[in-house]
Each structure stands twice: as structure tokens, then as C-alpha cells.
Structure 1
């Protein structure tokens, strides 16, 4: 956590939760996928929806951990689910709907078989 992540009450700002979830999602869909030889997510994926439930505030300096999994894979979208822990206490839950996107054509595309195969072990 950075000092600039705090709100006027000294808690981590609600918008920062979304950034933390994004960093976890990018680690899976870009870093881990690339390590597995899959680069198609880097060529285009857009977010169509975020949901966050804030369960408790997080103070500056608290150790946080994010667990994420794939909640659902459909033909043209997938849902990433998250839980953010403050130490051992659940502080937030979130979900993101991701849509594979063809940047050149400027439109959504289908989830590819190789992407589904990569994400399947994370279904939970």
C-alpha cells in the first residue's frame, strides 16, 4: 500500500481495491498466461462490468492478500472472482466480467479453446 492510497479517514480508498484486483487479474491473464505460452489475452480483452463488496476497512500498512479464481467461462466472456484479505480477515469480494476483444476489428470475439484450456484449472 502507498500513502496516496488512503482516504480522508486513513483507510485504503475504495477505488484502490479495484486497482489491487486489476493487478491480480493482470498477473494471471498476462504474466502467467505468457509463461504458459499464451499471449492472446494481451492482444485484447476489455472489462464490461465490475462488482465490489466492501466488508471492512483496511488501514495503511496492513498486509493484504488477494485470492482469485475464474467463476465462469462462456462463449464470449469470462468472470474473474476475487477475495481480498486483511491479514486473515476477509475485507472485500469482487467480480469482473472480461470480454475477449479483437482490437483490429474493433469488436468482441469468442473465447478461444487454448484460452479456455489455460483458465480451466482456475475454475472454482
Structure 2
């Protein structure tokens, strides 16, 4: 089994949640969303973001406005709709429940297992 595949699937599972959180802070340009996701190592491929933004917009969770740019053509700036804010609030509840449940499992003290970090695993392979 390939660890990278599992890591990618975990990131994909939280991608929409992270995008909605970023946009919830205020109007934002798609490339700024992409930069934040890349910096957080949540997304690395630009082609992943735009279809998601389109799907979220079609679900009426996002809206956009065109803004003039001094550097080129007009840019789409995204905001959350009221429905998007409500959806994000529900996802926050789900996220908090998921984190609590996962932590409960991970921190179960019945059997102590040392879990190495990814860096330690990579060092052992060398």
C-alpha cells in the first residue's frame, strides 16, 4: 500500500471544508485560495481548485464578483452565500465531532504504541 495515495485521499476529504473556511474570511481571488491551500500542503494541483469552485457555486454555496485588475484582465473574487455560511457551520460541527472521535481512538491508552513521524519513517528507509 502506498502512503502517498492515502495522504492524498485524506487531503481530498477536507478540501471543500478548507476552501469554504478560506472564503468565509472575506472576498478572495481564486489564486489566493490556491496559494493558501498550497502553503498548507492541502492541495498542490491548480486543476483541482477550479472545478470545486464551480461545483460549490452551482450548489449556491459561493458567489463571485468580477474585479478589475491592474495586472491584467478582470478577476473573479469569491464570497460565501448565506447558504454557504449555514453549510460551513454544519461542517464545523461535523469536523469537531470527527476530530474528537478520532482523537479518542488515537489516544486510547489500552495499548501504547509508538507512532513514528513521517520523517522518521523516511529516515529508516535510507
Normalized against structure 1, the TM-score is what?
A: 0.24
Q: Which has the higher strand share?
A: 1
Higher relative contact order (CA 8 A, sep 6+): 1
Q: Which has the higher helix share?
A: 2
Normalized against structure 2, the TM-score is what?
A: 0.23
